Amino acid sequence: MRSFFIVSLILPAIFCLSGCDTLTDLVTSNIPDNHTGRASILIELHEQQAYLYKGRYEVASSRISTGREGYDTPLGRFRVIRKDQDHRSSVYGYYADESDQPVKENIDIRKDKAPPDTHFVGASMPYFLEFYPGYGLHAGYLPGFPASHGCVRMPYWKARQFYSTATLGTLVVVKR
C-alpha cells in the first residue's frame, strides 16, 4: 500500500515536470540512440506528426501542432539554419510592466500597440530549430490540432531530443 501511495504521488510530479503527456513519451524521449548516420526530420502536416531519423532509421516521433489557417507552415525541403536553446519570438508574446508582469497578452508587435510604460516580452520557444526564416520546431503547447503561427510545436522532451540530435544543415522535409 505504501509503494502505491508513493508512486501515485511521484509519477504525476514526473509527468508535470517533464512536459510529457504519457509514460511512452517520457520513456521514448530518453532512450539512448544506437543508430548512426545523418539526422533528418520529416514533418507530416496531415498527421500532425514529426519523425526524427538517423540514416534510414526512425529514432523518434512526436505529436505536433503546426500552423493554423492563415499561418501556414511552409512546405518543402529545408535545412536547419539556426539552433537556439532559449529562443524567444521577436513578433509574438506580451507587453509587460516594469516588474515583467503581463499587461497585454497574446500580441503581435506588428499589429498591437504597446500600452504606456510597458515593454515587449517574446513568447518562449525552447529548443528552437529554425529551418526557414522565422519558422522552426520548438517546445510548445499542443492542443491536438494546427494552432501555431506557422512553427512546429512539440512536447518539451521531444523538442529537446530533436534539438540535441539535429545539427546546422540537418535536412527538414515538410509534407502536406
Q: What is the model's pLDDT at position 16?
A: 47
> Per-residue confidence of the chain (176 residues) as pLDDT tens digits?
555 544 455 555 455 444 555 655 555 555 556 778 999 999 999 999 999 999 999 999 999 999 999 999 999 999 999 999 999 999 999 999 999 999 999 999 999 999 999 999 999 999 999 999 999 999 999 999 999 999 999 999 999 999 999 999 999 999 99
Q: What is the model's pLDDT at position 35?
A: 79
The torsion angle over the Cα atoms of residues 99, 101, 102 and 108, rounded to 10 degrees, is 40
Q: What is the model's pLDDT at position 18?
A: 47
Residue type, 168: L
Q: What is the model's pLDDT at position 153?
A: 98
Using a cut of 0.75, tell me whether the model's pTM lies above it: yes
Q: What is the model's pLDDT at position 27?
A: 53
Q: Is 106 left (phi over 0), alpha (psi -120 to 50) or beta?
A: left
Spell out the domain ranges in the chain.
Answer: 23-175
- 23-175 CATH: 2.40.440.10
Question: Which pairs from 30-39 meet CB under 8 Å and 24+ separation?
Answer: 30/157, 30/161, 33/59, 33/60, 33/165, 35/59, 38/170, 38/171, 39/165, 39/166, 39/167, 39/170, 39/171
> b/e per residue, 32-42, with b = 16+ CB within 10 A?
eeeeeeebbbb
Q: What is the model's pLDDT at position 12?
A: 54
